[in-house]
Chains A and B, each alone.
Chain A
Amino acid sequence: MIRIRHLATAALALLLPLGAAQAINTASADLVALDKTTTTGYLEARIALYPAPDAKGNAGTPSVYPAQLLFSRDGRFRLVLRPGANNEYRLAASGDGMVSWIDMGTGNASKGAYATLVDPFVRTMLGTIGSITRFAPMKELPMGSNSITRGASLQTNVYGSGIVSGRAWFGNDKPTGFEFVLSDNRRIFVSVLSFKQNVTVKPGDFSL
Chain B
Amino acid sequence: MRSPLVQAFRFSVIAACAAIVATGCVLDRSAIPPGWGTVAPAQYCPGDTLRASYDFLRSDTCATTTDCTPYFPTVTLTTSSGAFPSPTSLAPGYRGNLDFAAIGDSVTVGFHSNANPVTIPTDRFEGSSRVFLQRTGVTDVNATARRIVGTQTFELTHEGMCAGGTPTYGPGELPGPPRMSPNLRLVDICNTNSVTIVVTLNGSAPGATYTQMLSPGACLDPSAPGIPTGTDAARVVDVRPLSPDPLARCSALGPNTPPATLRTVAHVACR
Contact = CB atoms under 8 A, between A and B. Distances in A.
Given A57-B153, A171-B161, A151 B236 contact: yes
Contact of A141 (B203, B255, B256, B263): B203
A114 interface: no
A64 to B, nearest CB: 9
Contacts of B256: 193-194
A191 B160 contact: yes
Contacts of A124: 59
A83 to B, nearest CB: 12
Nearest to A159: B58
Interface residues of A, number: 43
Contacts of A44: 254-255
Interface stretch (B71-79, B96-104, B167-175): B167-175
A202 to B, nearest CB: 24
Interface residues of B, number: 41
B170 A179 contact: yes
Contact of B200 (A147, A153, A157): A147
B254 A194 contact: yes
B125 interface: no
Contacts of B152: 57
Contacts of A144: 200, 202, 209, 211, 238
Interface in A132-182: 134-135, 141-149, 151, 153, 155, 157-160, 167, 169-172, 174, 176-177, 179
A59 B58 contact: no
A114 to B, nearest CB: 15
A192 interface: yes
B162 A141 contact: no
A148 B168 contact: yes
Contacts of B235: 141-142
B67 interface: no
A141 B265 CA distance: 20
Contacts of B212: none
Given A143-B236, A171-B163, A171-B164, 4 more contacts: A53-B154, A141-B171, A149-B163, A191-B170
Interface of A: 44, 46, 48, 50, 53, 56-59, 62, 124, 134-135, 141-149, 151, 153, 155, 157-160, 167, 169-172, 174, 176-177, 179, 189, 191-194
